[in-house]
């Protein structure tokens, strides 16, 4: 009987010990699992923190690279703008020389100012200018003027028949001026024609050439058939090659 009791008691103790051992093992396992979980979380947090630092560093590098790229793009744009300006400065770009013809009121012949009024001979002068209305210089500018060239005066202040025997010149009559350089906003007097007081119509064909282009302008001036009437512009044509430009004002607009 004692042996049976001992056996039961021993069995109970073994069961309790096993239960305790299992509980301890389970507890140890849970502690270990918790530690491993904590370690993993800590490692993950550390990894995330490292990734965040690297991401921030990468973002800063990208911002610096973007800033450098924008700075480089700005410098390149300025360099291109400067190069274009230099090209325009050297070649004249889209700038063009403009022919400006100015009829003037009647003048007294040179040297006739002291004569009595009834003996003073008069004439109608016209001046032709080449102008640069653009922002950059124009180089190697030349002009060939043909048409109604008028007459010149001799030393005595009379008409120089030898210079212009006929006020209305033939197609072979022309005057060439140039080459010259026109600075921006510069005008140059290239021709002055003198005409009889009874001249009521004159025409000019001006061939203009420069380093970056050429054109021909044909201008006609007329006045009322009255003594002393000032000539005024009647018609202007601009021709490039064999093509007439429909809008002369737009043609001279600087590109």
For the stretch 55-91, pLDDT in tens is 777 778 877 777 777 776 676 666 555 554 444 444 4
Residue 27 has what pLDDT? 67
- Give 253 or 14, the one with higher predicted confidence: 253
DSSP 68-83: HHHHHHHHHHHHHHHH
Enumerate the β-bridge partners of residue 130.
99, 188
Q: Which of 37-51, 75-89, 193-207 has the highest mean pLDDT?
A: 193-207
- Give 94 or 140, the one with higher predicted confidence: 140
Tell me the per-residue pLDDT of 142-165, one tens digit each, with 9 for 90 and over.
999 988 888 888 777 677 766 665
Residue 135 has what pLDDT? 84
In the chain, the DSSP E strands lie at: 98-103, 107-108, 122-132, 138-147, 152-153, 159-160, 174-182, 186-195, 201-210, 213-222, 232-240, 243-244
| Every domain of the chain and the residues it spans | 1-91, 98-251
SS3 state at 137: coil
What percentage of residues in the chain have a pLDDT greater than 70?
A: 68
Residue 17 has what pLDDT? 61
Q: Is the pLDDT of residue 228 over 60?
A: yes
- Give 160 or 176, the one with higher predicted confidence: 176
Q: Which of 30-44, 159-173, 215-229 has the lowest mean pLDDT?
A: 159-173
Residue 179 has what pLDDT? 94
CATH class of the domain comprising 98-251: mainly beta
Tell me the per-residue pLDDT of 81-118, one tens digit each, with 9 for 90 and over.
555 444 444 444 578 999 999 999 988 888 888 888 88
- Average pLDDT for 214-219: 94
- Average pLDDT for 250-254: 78
Q: Which residues contact 161 (CB under 8 A, 6 or more apart)?
A: 151
Confidence tier at 126 by pLDDT (50, 70, 90): very high
Rounded CA-CA distance 164/152 in Å is: 7
Residue 150 has what pLDDT? 83
- Give 135 or 77, the one with higher predicted confidence: 135
**Other beta carbons less than 10 A from residue 220's beta carbon:** 16
Q: Which letter, b or e, does each residue of 161-190 get, where b requires 16 or more Cβ atoms within 10 Å of its Cβ?
A: eeebeebebeeeeebebbebebeeebebeb
Helix H or strand E segment including 45 = helix 2-91
Q: Which of 23-32, 125-134, 142-151 has the highest mean pLDDT?
A: 125-134
């Amino acid at each position: 009987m004692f042996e049976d009791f001992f056996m039961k008691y021993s069995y109970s103790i073994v069961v309790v010990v096993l239960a305790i051992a299992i509980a301890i093992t389970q507890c140890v396992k849970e502690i270990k699992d918790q530690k491993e979980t904590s370690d993993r979380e800590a490692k993950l947090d550390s990894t995330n923190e490292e990734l965040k630092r690297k991401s921030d560093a990468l973002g800063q590098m990208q911002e610096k690279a973007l800033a450098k790229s924008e700075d480089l793009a700005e410098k390149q744009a300025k360099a291109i703008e400067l190069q274009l300006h230099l090209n325009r400065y050297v070649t004249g770009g889209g700038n063009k020389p403009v022919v400006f013809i100015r009829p003037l009121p009647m003048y007294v012949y040179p040297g006739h100012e002291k004569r009595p009024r009834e003996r003073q001979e008069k004439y109608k002068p016209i001046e032709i200018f080449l102008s640069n209305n653009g922002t950059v210089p124009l180089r190697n500018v030349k002009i060939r003027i043909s048409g109604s060239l008028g007459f010149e005066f001799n030393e005595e202040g009379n008409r120089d028949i030898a210079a212009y025997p006929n006020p209305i010149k033939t197609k072979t009559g022309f005057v060439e001026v140039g080459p010259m350089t026109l600075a921006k906003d510069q005008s140059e007097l290239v021709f002055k024609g003198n005409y009889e007081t009874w001249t009521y119509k004159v025409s000019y064909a001006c061939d203009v050439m420069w380093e970056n282009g050429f054109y021909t302008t044909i201008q006609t001036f007329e006045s009322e058939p009255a003594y002393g009437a000032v000539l005024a512009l009647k018609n202007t044509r601009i021709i490039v090659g064999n093509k007439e430009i429909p809008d002369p004002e737009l043609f001279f607009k600087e590109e």
